[in-house]
Amino acid sequence: MDTSPPSPPSFPEPPDWAHRGLAALAARDADLARILPMAGPLPWRTRAPGFPGLLRTICGQQISNAAAGAIWGRLSAIPGALDPAGLLALDDATLCGVAGLSRPKAAHARALATAIQDGTLRLGALAEMEDDAAIAHLSAVRGLGPWTAGVHLLFAEQRADVFPAGDVALAAALAHLRGLAARPKPKELVDLAQAWAPWRSLAARLLWHYWRHVTGRLAFE
């Protein structure tokens, strides 16, 4: 029996615009410039747009990547779960018992599906919205919030200048990278991230990449 550890997943190369942004960040910020030489090439992680991508992000709220990935694997295997109408037809025994969602997250998933069905959430209009407007539009759905909205825009919409300042790993990574005495609070992170505009999404990707390197966690998505 082969007992060797699984190989890390392969990710596509960052697009050309991201290479330009990474070069700009490296020229501007000496700390960010140290990340790729230490941690290796940046994996370009993406998520599906629309309802499936948002549902995947709900799965990751306030839990580890490994736990979120396991829940997502079970949820996405349930027939109809990745369609708003299909998800609304599933009961708690399926969403919580089979997939492993907590009851609050099952409620958030239903709120998302309902908002899409009744037109409250207009996913097709996101591309026309500025970043702040898109975050506000997504966050208006119960259970999403700015972190979920930001992560979705960053990974599913591949926006260049979104920074989910409430992310604990980003705060931990920056504190470790810069040798700070304490992790920056979300408001402090917002202020610090201003220096990385208009490439704040890339700065976030770099910091997550660095934190995986420091903690030894594989970048499974």
Quick one: pLDDT at residue 8?
52
Judge contact between 36 and 202, C-beta under 8 A.
no
| Cα–Cα distance measured from residue 50 to residue 156, given in angstroms and rounded to the nearest whole number | 8
3-class secondary-structure state, position 52: helix
- Taking Cα atoms as reference points, which of 60, 139, 149 lies closest to residue 100? 60
pLDDT at 190 over 80: yes
Contacts of 191 (CB under 8 A, 6+ apart): none
Quick one: pLDDT at residue 216?
86
Domain end point (choices 133, 155, 177): 155
Judge contact between 210 and 35, C-beta under 8 A.
yes
Do 102 and 65 belong to one domain? yes
Do 58 and 128 belong to one domain? yes
Look at residue 97 and tell me if it is in a domain.
Answer: yes
| Cα–Cα distance measured from residue 111 to residue 120, given in angstroms and rounded to the nearest whole number | 10
Look at residue 208 and tell me if it is in a domain.
Answer: yes
Write the single-letter amino acid at 54: L
pLDDT at 220 over 80: no
pTM: 0.88
Domain end point (choices 155, 172, 198): 155
Q: Which residue range(s) make up the domain with 167?
A: 16-35+163-215
- The model's pLDDT over 2-21, given as tens digits with 9 standing for 90+, comes to 454 444 556 788 999 999 99
3-class secondary-structure state, position 144: coil
Quick one: pLDDT at residue 10?
64
Distance between start and end Cα atoms, the chain: 27
Domain end point (choices 155, 174, 203): 155
How many folded domains does the chain comprise? 2
pLDDT at 212 over 50: yes
Look at residue 7 and tell me if it is in a domain.
Answer: no
pLDDT at 98 over 50: yes
Phi-psi sector, 73: left (phi>0), alpha (psi -120 to 50), beta = alpha
| Cα–Cα distance measured from residue 88 to residue 117, given in angstroms and rounded to the nearest whole number | 10
